[in-house]
C-alpha cells in the first residue's frame, strides 16, 4: 500500500482565496482524521470520519472550514475564505479503528499571505 496520500504538499495562497486539501486514506481503514499542526497549538484534531460519516467536527475552528468524505478513498478539507492565521501543516491520517495507531500522510504545508 502507498500509505496515506495527501495533495498538494505545499500551498501558498492569498488571503480570501478558497483552499482545498485532498487525502486518500489507506484502503480498508475505516477511520479518517484531519489534523492541524502549528508551533503555538501543536497537533489539533479538526474532524474525523468513520465509514465516510463525519463523527466529530468539534475541532473545526470556524465555519470557514469544511470537510467531506464522499467515498472510502477520498476526503477533502476546504477553507473558504482563507486567512493568514490558517497557515499551518495539515495532516490527514487513517486507521483501522479509533484505538489503533494512525498512519499519517506527508502533510500539506499551507501558507496564506
Contacting residues toward other proteins, per CB under 8 A: 42-43, 45, 55-56, 89, 91, 93, 98-107, 109
- Smallest separation (angstroms) from other proteins to the CB of 56: 5
**Which residues make Cβ contacts (< 8 Å) with residue 106, sequence separation at least 6?**
6, 9
Q: Considering beta carbons, is residue 25 or 107 the nearer one to other proteins?
A: 107
Q: Measured on CA atoms in the order 57, 22, 71, 102, is the torsion positive or negative?
A: negative
The DSSP call for residue 97 is S
Angle at 56 between CA 9 and CA 50, to 5 degrees: 75
Measured from the CB atom, is 16 or 98 closer to other proteins? 98
Q: Kindly tell me which of 51 and 100 has the beta carbon lying closer to other proteins.
A: 100
Rounded to the nearest whole angstrom, what is the least distance from the CB of residue 66 to other proteins in the complex? 20
The Cα–Cα gap between 3 and 26 comes to 6
Which H helix or E strand runs over 32? strand 31-38
Q: For the CB of residue 91, give the shortest distance to other proteins in the complex, in Å.
A: 7
Measured from the CB atom, the residue of 59 and 81 that comes closer to other proteins is: 59
Amino acid at each position: 500500500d502507498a500509505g496515506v496520500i495527501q495533495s498538494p504538499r505545499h500551498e501558498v495562497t492569498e488571503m480570501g482565496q478558497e483552499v482545498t486539501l485532498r487525502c486518500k486514506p489507506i484502503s480498508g481503514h475505516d477511520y479518517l482524521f484531519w489534523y492541524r499542526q502549528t508551533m503555538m497549538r501543536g497537533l489539533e484534531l479538526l474532524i474525523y470520519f468513520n465509514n465516510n460519516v463525519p463523527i466529530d467536527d468539534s475541532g473545526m475552528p470556524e465555519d470557514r472550514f469544511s470537510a467531506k468524505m464522499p467515498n472510502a478513498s477520498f476526503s477533502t478539507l476546504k477553507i473558504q475564505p482563507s486567512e493568514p492565521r490558517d497557515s499551518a501543516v495539515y495532516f490527514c491520517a487513517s486507521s483501522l479503528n479509533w484505538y489503533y495507531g494512525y498512519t499519517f500522510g506527508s502533510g500539506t504545508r499551507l501558507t496564506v499571505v
